[in-house]
Amino acid sequence: MEQQPTHQPLAVAEAAVILIVDDNPDAAHLLFSLLTRLTYTCEMAYGGVEALAKIRAHPKDQPLLVILDDMMPDLGGLEVLRELRKDPEFDRLHVVIYSARLHAERRDEALALGAKAWILKGQDVNTTLNAFVEHYHQACEDHHDAR
């Protein structure tokens, strides 16, 4: 039996955005479509360099959750995470790595840098969506508690 997404977005702020970062436009658009259908506000970036530029352009309006593909040609998810963690402005940013492969060393480093999870692509869609939604809700709670 297929597990259906169980959460709805919290009313946190108008700019409560999920940033989806994937160099594969089809994968990014699919995730964008699925999350926006659940009424989440999403933006997309098609590589690590573009993601860093979007996040750094508006540090006060940073996304609540960043879903990062790990294997991208310009700058992978782990490298983006390393760059973000160099700046205290982004040390509380919720990041989830979404990868087609389980690279144990990269996963361990990502978690040590504060990534909230390493989620493998190719799992049941609803299970994956539920995981993203749970991380979004945790980010909302942490954002609220930080105020």
Span 109-130, average pLDDT: 94
pLDDT tens digits along 31-80: 999 999 999 999 999 999 999 999 999 888 889 999 999 999 999 999 99
Is residue 132 one of the residues assigned to a domain?
Answer: no
Query: Above 70 in pLDDT, residue 2?
Result: no
The number of distinct structural domains making up the chain is 1
Is residue 121 one of the residues assigned to a domain?
Answer: yes
Is residue 140 one of the residues assigned to a domain?
Answer: no
Please calculate the CA angle 65-70-72 and round it to the nearest 5 degrees. Answer: 115
Domain that holds residue 120: 17-126
Is residue 144 one of the residues assigned to a domain?
Answer: no
pLDDT tens digits along 4-15: 555 444 444 444
SS3 for 89-123 is: HHCCCEEEEEECCCCHHHHHHHHHCCCCEEEECCC
In percent, how much of the chain has pLDDT > 70? 89
Average pLDDT, the chain: 89
Query: Above 50 in pLDDT, residue 99?
Result: yes
CATH of residue 100's domain is 3.40.50.2300
pLDDT of residue 144: 75
Q: Which are the contacts of 115, defined by CB distance < 8 A and separation ≥ 6?
A: 81, 95, 96, 97
**3-class DSSP assignment, residue 1:** coil
Is residue 131 one of the residues assigned to a domain?
Answer: no
